[in-house]
Structure 1
Amino acid sequence: MVHRRLTAGTAVSRIRAGELDVHVQRLTPEVPLDGDAPIVVCVHGLLTDSLASYYFTLGPAFAERGLDVLMYDLRGHGRTTRPESGYRLEAFIDDLVTVLDTLEITRPVHVIGNSFGGSVAFGLAAARPDRVASVIAIEAEPPTAEWKQRMDTGFAVAHDTLGRDGIYDQIKEDHGAHTARLIKLGNRILRTTTIADDILSSTTISTDLSTLRCPVFAIYGDESGMAPQAQYLHDHLADCRTVVLADQGHSVLVERTAETIELIFEWVRDTSRLAAQVR
């Protein structure tokens, strides 16, 4: 493992996880919450995303409040190895377990997942409930058969849209050079790997969510296509809290950062304290 200290409480590493070199950043608190900082693991979304979306939003704020924050680039994304194939959901789940094992994190963690990252979090909770203290889903859904159908539609739209002539110049003009660069990187992943086919062949969990037994907290925007997931989770999970933000679309993490920080921190703090009382 290559490990480089950046500033007090911040470390960046490359760790070997199976066949991958995984880019990891960890923010450790100067004063741990309750003396034994709860660990939160941040899992980002697909194609245009990376751990940077957490590094510039939730990560530093959580570390300042006493949480131990782990962020990493998913396979094929950011500075992590990009294999041509091997992108089934199960691989993303196995990668997360391997990252935790390599960093010798053995106690259950709170997994924060944005968009596809939330599906990874739900999948980990179903497959390895011993590793998960709670799932925090931001604009995300469990990996059920319905999820796979929506992913299929999303990949088809992305493939057609990003293949249009002049699309990057249009995005650059409308949304800036940074967004255009992210879109171009996402298109490269889509067209040089088997990610779309692999995810669509992933193993799903039952629609009754009976394999999910840990506490779940989910945040949605009321103008997002994900908003109906709030009621779905309530209908199928015994230990679940949801918040639907008014006048908000899919980009909750970057557009409602301050509210998201408060909501998730309070959830992690209270859930951790309750678990400690039970032990």
Structure 2
Amino acid sequence: MPLFLRALLLIIIVYEFLSSIGRWRGLSWSDPALRPFLAIAALALHPRNASWRQRVLALALAAFPGLLLQAFVAGVRRRSLDARAALQPGLYDDCTIVRIDIPMPEAFMPALYVTPRATPQAAVAVLHGSGCDKSYFTWRLTNAFLQKGIAVLLVDLDGHGESPRIQRYPQMLECATEAVRWLRAHHRRVGMLGVSLGGCVAARAAADGMALDALAIMEAPPVLRFDDRDRLSEARTLLQPYVLDLLRESSVLHLGRALYRLVRAQRAPSIRAAISTWDLIAACDLCGSLSRLDVPLFLAYGERDAIVKLEQSEEVWHAAPSGATMILVPDAGHLTLILHPETLQRMAAWMADHLTEKSIG
């Protein structure tokens, strides 16, 4: 057998064992029972009639094509593994998910209502970012809330997802107020989490009088100022261990498409709009809104965020009312903060402290 072909097969087996060690099911094509036979095959493939220099060179040349082949075979083998399926309506072991349409002054707002098995006293409405939708990389934060016994309402903002409305101002604020109104009819305590654009909308609606028990904002910009270099910098932040760990939840093909959409949303978001996102964020006046808040406030920003730069997050912090909590996450950017497990757990714990019966007492 040619040396390169031996090296290619050997490197694929190495990748398979690394995928097993990392528990990256989405990058794996074999079953555990097959692993001992793969180890034997690796020993048999080891070339014995070549120098160490030739072996190392062959493995180096096979590394990249082997990775592509590994990803392709694993993608086909695990094509049904998709973390987004966890947000499909239905009855699950730990929660119930219902697809609803919330009445609006004009038309309706599509939403997913996720409730833990035990009857929750508190709920959180989640407003996504620009170019996203209600199920856009929200399964981790949804699980973080469910683990605290908090129900979650995931909504499509105007102009996004399944919403029949277009992005306008001030009508966009109704997405926040109507979500809270709907939750108030079902829960004693209601909080809100706004991500990026959703954070700007949530802050403005709360400043204008929307009654909340707690408000969390992640990576919301005071204004938008970024270019292609910033987009490239953001794309590089995807190379983080906690992002690669998504392969435990999705196949490499599903994950690749989802990450492509995540990056593309920064350049060419799919939005039906009468006002641009840039102008909408300016109209929401994040810093001015924060200065008028009297609700418990949690702020989270990434130190590697190239869209909302560090000086902008500091501007937000200075505008926040006294008593607000703010965290800066060293290894997170604009695209990845919503995927950062420790940040999501800390945010959910903070929200639970302000929404549970213990906090009321």
TM over 0.5, shorter chain: yes
In structure 1, runs of 5+ residues without a counterpart are 142-146, 162-174
Deviations 1:73-104 (A, max 9, x none): 11111111143xx521x322112222333453
Deviations 1:236-278 (A, max 9, x none): 411211111113221243441x11221112101222356402x
What is the alpha-carbon distance in structure 1 between the residues aligned to residue 117 and residue 280 of structure 2? 39
Q: Equivalent residue of 1:78, what SS?
A: coil
What is the alpha-carbon distance in structure 1 between the residues aligned to residue 103 and residue 163 of structure 2? 10
Larger Rg: 1 or 2? 2
Deviations 1:188-237 (A, max 9, x none): 645x5323176267353664843111111111111223433554444341
Paired amino acid for 2:202:
A
Aligned to 1:15: 102
Aligned to 2:334: 250
Cα separation, partners in 2 of 1:31 and 1:249, compared to 1, 3 Å: same
1:27 is aligned to 2:110: no
Further displaced range: 200-209 or 103-112 = 200-209
Deviations 1:146-180 (A, max 9, x none): x3xx33x45xx58xx9xxxxxxxxxxxxx944444
C-alpha displacement at 1:107, in angstroms?
4.7
Name which of 196, 216, 233 aligns with 1:136.
216
1:114 is aligned to 2:198: no
Match runs of 1:106-185 below 5 Å:
107-129=188-210, 131-141=211-221, 147=222, 150-151=223-224, 153=225, 176-181=256-261, 183=264
Paired amino acid for 2:104:
A
C-alpha displacement at 1:12, in angstroms?
0.9
Task: Say if 1:218 and 1:230, in contact at 8 Å, map to a contact too.
Answer: no
Cα separation, partners in 2 of 1:23 and 1:238, compared to 1, 3 Å: same
Deviations 1:30-79 (A, max 9, x none): 124xxx532111110012x1111354221133224310111111111111
Aligned to 1:99: 179
Q: Equivalent residue of 2:109, what SS?
A: strand
Task: Say if 1:230 and 1:242, in contact at 8 Å, map to a contact too.
Answer: no
Aligned to 2:344: 261
Q: How high is the TM-score relative to the length of structure 2?
A: 0.57
Match runs of 1:62-77 below 5 Å:
62-77=145-160
Aligned to 2:54: none
Name which of 118, 121, 124 aligns with 1:40.
124
In structure 2, runs of 5+ residues without a counterpart are 1-87, 232-254
Further displaced range: 230-239 or 119-128 = 230-239
Aligned to 1:195: 275
Percent identical pairs in the alignment equals 22
1:276 is aligned to 2:356: no
What CA RMSD, in Å, does the superposition of the two structures yield over aligned residues?
Answer: 3.2
Cα separation, partners in 2 of 1:110 and 1:228, compared to 1, 3 Å: farther
